[in-house]
Amino acid sequence: MWESLLSGIVKGDRKNLARSISFIENEVPGYEGFLASLPVNNSCPVIGITGPPGAGKSTLTDAIIANLIKEKKRIGVLCVDPSSPFHRGALLGDRIRMSEWYNHEDVFIRSLASRGALGGLHPHIIEICDLLKAAQFDWIILETVGVGQSEVEIASLSDISIVTFVPEAGDEIQAMKAGLMEIGDVFVVNKADRPGADLFVKNLRMTMAPAFYHNKKDIPVLKTIATERSGIDELVSVINALLAQPAHAEKKIMLQAEKAFYLIQQKRMKDIERGALVEKIKALGTSFNLYRFVEGY
């Protein structure tokens, strides 16, 4: 089964790709060996789009897809949604903003449930990204939940992280409090036709300048109106320029190390069950040294 799935994925078979993602999500026996057999593709960048709720991330993703399609690119899109409290699946409300691309031969869109993950991503997002890379996409776009301050995990997975704001986000100090400032390679002020956009962009550029912040270089701050696909050409051009920089090669090594650390952590913790911990602690009672217990576990 796994060999036929892999063969189909490499040839661009959407059904095989969709089935494989489901198998990885549900940890179907044999999925780890399947992942180990994936061909390595380091030429496909992962572009992360994050930001607070209402910033227009889905509409921005839609506009970027339209731009890349004009360039004859194949795009894989992973949209991480909040989980339903009832069936634990993804709540797909925002995906209607990308409905134009669902049947396009060069676009694959998959919604994933966050399943309670605090970093705004999916527990198996690394594996699913590598699966899309094996499918020979030119770009992978990763859009996160939009949970705000805890949404920094995307920086350890994306080649380029785009942080999206709207003018109503407030002054630059409020933007810094959002917990997203240190992870951005590009900042986008979307819905820039709204009042206060120019002032917000000006303050954000001053805040992110090397003289005021700890950056060694200027971080691009761009204006877009995603509903009109305005400013998207410049955004894609800036992303391509960043991907071509020598510093990006060094970042890829750090990204690989981060991903390896995360996967090793997951593997080492696999045999630890919360329920079993509860039973062991119940048997010990409350008068025991927790640190000695953890050390011997």
CA distance 285 to 60: 53
pLDDT over 50 (residue 85)? no
Confidence of residue 223 (pLDDT cuts 50, 70, 90): very high
pLDDT at 134: 93
Mean pLDDT for the stretch of residues 150-154: 58
Considering the domain architecture, whether residues 171 and 70 belong to the same structural domain is answered as yes
Q: Is 86 in the same domain as 205?
A: yes
On whether both 68 and 195 belong to a single domain, the answer is yes
Residues 15 and 139 in one domain: no
Q: Please tell me which residue, 68 or 111, carries the higher pLDDT value.
A: 68
pLDDT digit string (tens) for 156-215?
788 999 999 898 765 554 555 455 677 789 999 999 999 989 998 988 888 776 555 555
Q: Where does the pLDDT of residue 254 fall: very low under 50, low under 70, confident under 90, or very high at 90 and above?
A: confident
Question: Quick one: 70 and 203 in the same domain?
Answer: yes
- Find the CATH number of the domain harbouring 184: 3.40.50.300
HSE-CB at 150 with a 13 A cutoff on CA atoms is 9
Give residue for tokens 């305005």: 230
Average pLDDT over residues 48-63: 89
Count of domains in the chain? 2
Same domain, 18 and 48: no
SS3 223: strand
Q: Are 56 and 139 part of one and the same domain?
A: yes
96 plus 10 within the same structural domain: no
pTM more than 0.95: no
pLDDT at residue 120 is higher than 60 = no
Identify the domain containing residue 215 by its residue range.
39-244
Whether 89 shows a pLDDT value over 50: the answer reads no
The 10s digit of each residue's pLDDT in 8-29 is: 999 889 999 999 999 998 889 9
Residue 116 has pLDDT above 70, yes or no: no
Three-state DSSP at 50 gives strand
Residue 79 near residue 143 (C-beta atoms within 8 A): yes
Query: Residue 127: beta bridge partners?
Result: none
Alpha carbon distance 223, 186 (integer Å): 11
Whether 168 and 23 map to the same domain: the answer is no
Q: Between the ranges 39-53, 70-84, 159-173, where is the mean pLDDT highest?
A: 39-53
Q: Exposed/middle/buried for 262, CB within 10 Å: 0-12, 13-18, 19+?
A: middle
Distance CA 47, CA 9 (A): 21
33: its two tokens: 């060996």
In whole angstroms, give the CA distance from residue 238 to residue 154.
Answer: 19
Residues 222-249: what's their mean pLDDT? 93
- What integer is the mean pLDDT of 119-139? 84
| Separation in Å, CA 269 to CA 264, 272, 289 | 9, 5, 21
Burial call 108-124: b when 16+ CB within 10 Å, e when fewer: bbbbbbbbebebbbbbb
- The letter for the amino acid at 99 is S
